[in-house]
Amino acid sequence: MPKTVLFDLDGTLTDSGEGIINCAILGLQHFGLPIPPREEMGVFVGPPLDKTFVEFGVPEDRAQEAVDVFRSRYVVEGKFENIPYPGIREALATLKAQGHRLFVATSKPEVTALEVLEHFDLMDYFEFICGATLDGTRVHKSDVIEYLLKKVSVSEEILMVGDTKFDVLGAAHHGIPTIGVAWGYGSVADMEQAGAKAIAHSMDELVDLINQ
């Protein structure tokens, strides 16, 4: 049966780590904080930036300042230091041809998500793209999904597809199960602990899991 499938963006559809990490380094440098090895900074991909900057030593009351520094580079060049995962285009084409309704639900600012998807010619696979707002009214994955469900009439079974525990927990807040993907920046163990329905280790496996 056709399903409604909500896709995360960073770490699920595209490998955006290079640009996000480069901009996160700029944010930490702004505060004179030590720069960890790049392999430890993948946690910046996906969750709200303000909370992640605090985890790396930015004072909580100045977290938005760090986000502003991040965005000063990201909106110019960082967003395009990014590449669609191999096989994702074919997987989306297959799912759409099978009759599934595809959407994007991302914690990335919606305006940036639209630019990225258009840049990589991925827009046409999705009925609607929903992301965070720059004014902070939509930040967390649960907020984004809530807004999307208000905007779109859905009668089919709904699934979330994402690469972090934040996708799993945000979708679960609305009673939506999540298929985690192993190729992103989140921990498979964390997704499983958060209650992921299943974990896809390849694009073919993802398509199969959605069709089960």
Spell out the per-residue pLDDT of the chain, length 212, in tens: 899 999 999 999 999 999 999 999 999 999 999 999 999 999 998 788 999 999 999 999 999 999 999 999 999 999 999 999 999 999 999 999 999 999 999 999 999 999 999 999 999 999 999 999 988 899 899 999 999 999 998 878 999 999 999 999 999 999 999 999 999 999 999 999 999 999 999 999 999 999 99
What's the whole-model pTM score? 0.89
CATH number assigned to the domain comprising residue 149? 3.40.50.1000
Tell whether 198 and 110 lie within a shared domain.
yes
Q: What is the dihedral of CA 103, 143, 82, 177, to 10 degrees?
A: -60
Tell whether 106 and 206 lie within a shared domain.
yes
Tell whether 152 and 180 lie within a shared domain.
yes
Is 10 one of the annotated active-site residues of the chain?
A: no
Q: How many domains does the chain have?
A: 2
Which one of 8, 50, 143, 167 is the catalytic residue? 8
DSSP bridge partners of 105: 130
CATH number assigned to the domain comprising residue 24? 1.10.150.240
Amino acid at 173: H
Tell whether 117 and 181 lie within a shared domain.
yes
Find the domain containing 113 and state its range.
4-15+83-211
Nearest to 14 by CA among 72, 88, 64: 88
As a whole number of Å, the end-to-end CA separation of the chain is 9
Tell whether 199 and 107 lie within a shared domain.
yes
Contact of 206 with 181, CB cutoff 8 Å: yes
